[in-house]
Amino acid sequence: MSQPTSVPVSVIADTIVRTVELGVTITGAALDGDTTVVFCDLVDRGAQRCPGCGEAGVYRDTVERRVTDVPVAGHPLRLRVKVRRYRCMTASCERVVFSADSRRLARPAATTTRRCARCVLRRLVVDRTTVSAVARELGRSWDTADTIAMQAAQDLLAEAGPARLGGVRVIGVDEHRWAHTRHADGDGFVTVIVDLTPVVDRSGPARLLDLVAGRSAKAMTGWLAAQTPQFRDAVEVVAMDGFGGYKKDLSDGLCNKILLS
């Protein structure tokens, strides 16, 4: 690790603009090989309250949270964020120490920012980038990139809840070669199942329904069998050739919205 040095102003400016949504302010930057390291503080939100009892805590110490963010100018970006920790002084509270709220930055215990996780998913599912290439972009391992993508998909589906299966009439199925060389579940293939109903109705973007290990025909058969009879009855079209006839609609800017809606 080199000492903080100057990096191109454009890179800093870009990063500064984007830090607003992460809830951090930049205190410094350094280059570590190919990786840009940005040092940050959490934006101060006043007295931090204990998640256990709701009382204000007393400052204890500061730790560093390290997360990977969306690459900047083609280089991996690592954030090192100072997070203050507090002691809970309520005798009856089970919580002894708690950290300042950094959930805007990343999920609890996650090693990538939320937007980075969504970006990884988009690169893999929409841009059809390989896991290896995404791992390189992030400066992380293959396994980490794979885990980030799967977790991001699960988060997205959990956020949408069971309602995501309502009103689905047209399904698009697209298989991706997730892994080229290494052994993986489903022979390295992942099947992406998308609800194209809003695209057909011209009411909105396609929505992710699920990611399933394995090749499309078998994965889709198994996935449909696991759904309710009512769901299967409502489905009128399953487009097995990727996003086939809907490609034009998808390329009209809808691709980027598939996973984020």
| 52 interacts with Zn ion by CB under 5 A | yes
Residues in binding contact with Zn ion, number by CB under 5 A: 7
Q: Which of 12, 31, 53, 239 binds Zn ion (CB under 5 A)?
A: 53
Q: Which of residues 74-133 bind Zn ion (CB under 5 A)?
A: 88, 90, 93, 95
Q: Which of residues 175-214 bind Zn ion (CB under 5 A)?
A: none
Q: Indicate the pairing of strand 237-239 with strand 170-177.
A: parallel
CB of 120 within 8 A of CB of 143?
Answer: no
| 48 interacts with Zn ion by CB under 5 A | no
- Nearest distance from residue 47's CB to Zn ion, in Å? 13
Distance between CA atoms of residues 257 and 84, nearest Å: 35
- Nearest distance from residue 95's CB to Zn ion, in Å? 4
- Nearest distance from residue 93's CB to Zn ion, in Å? 3
Q: Which of 22, 30, 38, 50 binds Zn ion (CB under 5 A)?
A: 50
Residues that bind Zn ion (CB under 5 A): 50, 52-53, 88, 90, 93, 95
